[in-house]
Chain A
Amino acid sequence: MSTLALVARNLWGKKSRSIGLALAIAFAVMTVVALTVVGSGLESSATAVMHIGEANFVLSQKGVSDILNSTIDKPTLKKIDSTPGVASAVGVLVETEKINAANPVFIEVGIAPSDLAPFGVKILAGHSYSADATNQVMLGYTAAQNFGLHVGDKFRANGAVNTVTGIVSTSSSFGNDAAFFPLPALQGYNRVPGIVTLIFVKVDHGVPVSKVMHRITYAQPELMALRTAAQFGQADLTLVFVKAAATGSAILAVVIGAIIIGNTMLLSLFERTREFGMLLSVGWSRKRIVGLIMGEGFFLAIVGTAAGLALAVIVVLLLTQLPQLLGVLHAHFTASAFITGFATALAMTFLGTLYPAVRAAMRSPMDALGHE
C-alpha cells in the first residue's frame, strides 16, 4: 500500500476533521484572493484613465487620497506646456457624479475637442461638441447603451439638460462607460474654473522621457509623474491602503491558518501516536512518516484552495454588485491572484504540519506504542 493511498485513507477516515481543516484553509485562501482581486480591480479602474491617450506620462497632484481628487491650476499647466522638451501638455478634468442608483459614481471627463483624437477617443456616431459649448455632451457607447440614449437625445447631468452630440469609443472600458464634456463647461458645472485633474504630457521626439519627467517634478514639487500602472497605484492612497490591507491580511491569514492547522494537527497526531509507533515497528522510516503527515496536509491544501477560490469568486462578484462599488470595482480574476491563493494554502499547511510531523516521527517506537 503506497503512502499516497494511506494519506487518502486517513483523511477519508476522519472526514469531519479533514473538512474542518480544508475549510480553515479555504477561508484563508478566499480572504487573500478576494483582497488581491479587489486591489487589482481598483488599480485597473484607475489605470484606465491613463490608457486614454498616447501621452508619455501623466502628472497629478502629489499625496491625494484618490487620484481623482488631484487639482492642478491653469498657471501650472502653462508652465508645464512651456517646459523644454514638452511637445504638448493637455489638461483633463475628471469628475464623478451620481446619475441614479445604478450609476452612483458616473465618470465625467472634461476635455477639449481638439484633444479627443490624440487621446484615442473615436466618434462612432454624430459629431463632437464645440470647444466652449454648454449643454453639450458625448457619451461612451457603453454609457449610451445603459441609459438608452442616442445622438440628439437629452442627458441630464450636472444639474443641466445636455444634448448628446456624439457617441464615442475609447481604448479602455473606463472611457466607454463615461461622458465627455467641453473642458470649460465641466469646470463651470463643478465651480473649478481653470482647474484640471491630470495633465497628459507628450515629449518632443528624441528627448528622453525620464529627463523631462524629472525636470518637471523638480520645478513643480507638488506634482508627481506617473508612467506605469504600478506608479499609478502608488499615487492613489486609497489603492495603497487596499493593497496594504491585502498584503496584511494575507500574512495574517497565513499565520492564523498555520496556528489553527498546527494546533489541530498536533492534537490529532497526539491521538495517533500509537499508529506511528506501529508504522515505525514494521520498519517505516521517520522520513516516510513525515511524508505521510505532510502529504495529508498537502492534500488538504489542494482541496482548501479549490474551495477557497470558488468562495473568492462568489464574494468578489457580490462586492462588485454593492451600490457603493458599482462601476468602480471591476473584478479581474488574474492567474497571479489564484497562484497567490494556492501559495497561501501551501505556506499554511507547510508551517502547520512540519513541526507536528517531525515531532511525531522522532519518538522512539516503543515510546510511541506505549502511549495510551
Chain B
Amino acid sequence: MAEAYQVDERGAGLAVEVVGLTKVYSDGNVRALDGVDLQVAEREFVAVTGPSGCGKSTLLHLLAALDTPTSGTVRIFGADLGRMKNLAKYRREEVGLVFQFHNLLPQLTSLENVEIAMVRHEHGAPSHKEKAAQLLELVELAHAADRKPAQLSGGERQRVAIARALANDPRLLLADEPTGSLDSASVKVVVALLTRLREQTGTTIVMVTHDDSVAAVTDRVIHMRDGRILDA
C-alpha cells in the first residue's frame, strides 16, 4: 500500500485535497455539492459549518469513500480515492468516521460495537477487547461497556461511535456533528477529547458542527452554502 500514499509535490503535507468536487443525487436532481475545492493540512483540525442541506454530510461521505462523486477528485494523504483499488482497506485503516445519524449495531454491546471495526489482531498488540475498553475509557464510557445501544442516551451512543472511529488509529478523523445531541457537559468532554487526540497523535480532524463554541476550538472554520464553500 506504501506507493499508494506517496505524496506528489502538489499534495505535499496535505491530508485532504479536493478539486472540483460535485455530487448530484440522481433522484430529484439535487446538486448536493457544486464544484468544491478544499485543502486540509496534515494535523489540522477544521470545522465545517453551514445551513441544513448545504452538503456537509455529503462532503464527509465522499471523503470517507462511502460514495462516489459525480465529478472532481478527492486525494487523501496524496492518494486519489477514485483510483484506489481496495477501498475497504482505506475505510478500515486510514479513516475514522462518526456519522450524524444511525451509528451502532443494535444487537451488540458498546464494547463489541468498537471491536467490530478493528483490523486483524497483530502479534504483541493489546487484544481487541483491551483496546476497545481503553477507547471507551477515553470517551468516558467504561461503565457502559456491556450495554447495548438501546440502553444508552443519544450522547452516549455518539461517544461510542467516536470510540469506534478511533479503533484503528486513523490518520484522518471525519466527524459529522459529534456533539449534536450532547448536553453541554458532554460537549466539553468530546471537544477536549478531540483536541487532545490531535495534540497527542497528530490526527487530522474534519468536523461538521452547528455549535459556534465548538467551532471556536478548531484551527479553521469552513463555511458552506448550497453545495459550495464560501470564501473566508
Point out residues on A near B: beta carbons under 8 Å.
1, 6, 9-10, 13, 274-275, 278-286, 364-366, 369
Contacts and interface: CB of A to CB of B under 8 A. Distances in A.
B88 to A, nearest CB: 4
A278 B99 CA distance: 10
Chain A facing B: main interface SS: helix
Given A274-B102, A281-B91, A283-B91, A366 B67 contact: yes
A283 B88 contact: yes
A278, A282, A365 — most chain B CB neighbours (10 Å): A282
A322 to B, nearest CB: 47
B135 to A, nearest CB: 13
Given A1-B115, A282-B164, A364 B108 contact: no
Interface string B84-112: 00001111110001010011110110001
Contact of A365 (B67, B102, B108, B164): B67
Nearest to B90: A283
A285 B87 CA distance: 9
Given A1-B112, A283-B89, A283-B117, A278 B105 contact: yes
A274 B97 CA distance: 16
B192 interface: no
B18 interface: no
B159 interface: no
A286 B97 CA distance: 19
A365 B66 contact: yes
A1 B64 CA distance: 23
A13 B128 CA distance: 22
Nearest to B107: A13
Given A282-B92, A285-B88, A286-B88, A9 B97 contact: no
Interface residues of B, number: 29
Task: Give 5 nearest A-B pairs by CB, closest first.
Answer: A283-B92, A282-B117, A283-B91, A366-B67, A1-B115
Contacts of B167: 282
Contacts of B118: 1
A365 to B, nearest CB: 4
B230 interface: no
Contact of B66 (A9, A279, A281): A281
Contact of B88 (A13, A275, A280): A280
Contacts of A283: 88-93, 117, 119, 168
Contacts of B223: none
A64 B216 CA distance: 96
A279 B104 CA distance: 10
Interface in B63-95: 64, 66-68, 88-93
Given A1-B128, A10-B107, A369 B102 contact: yes
Given A282-B164, A285-B88, 8 more contacts: A1-B118, A6-B116, A275-B105, A281-B64, A281-B99, A283-B89, A366-B66, A369-B66
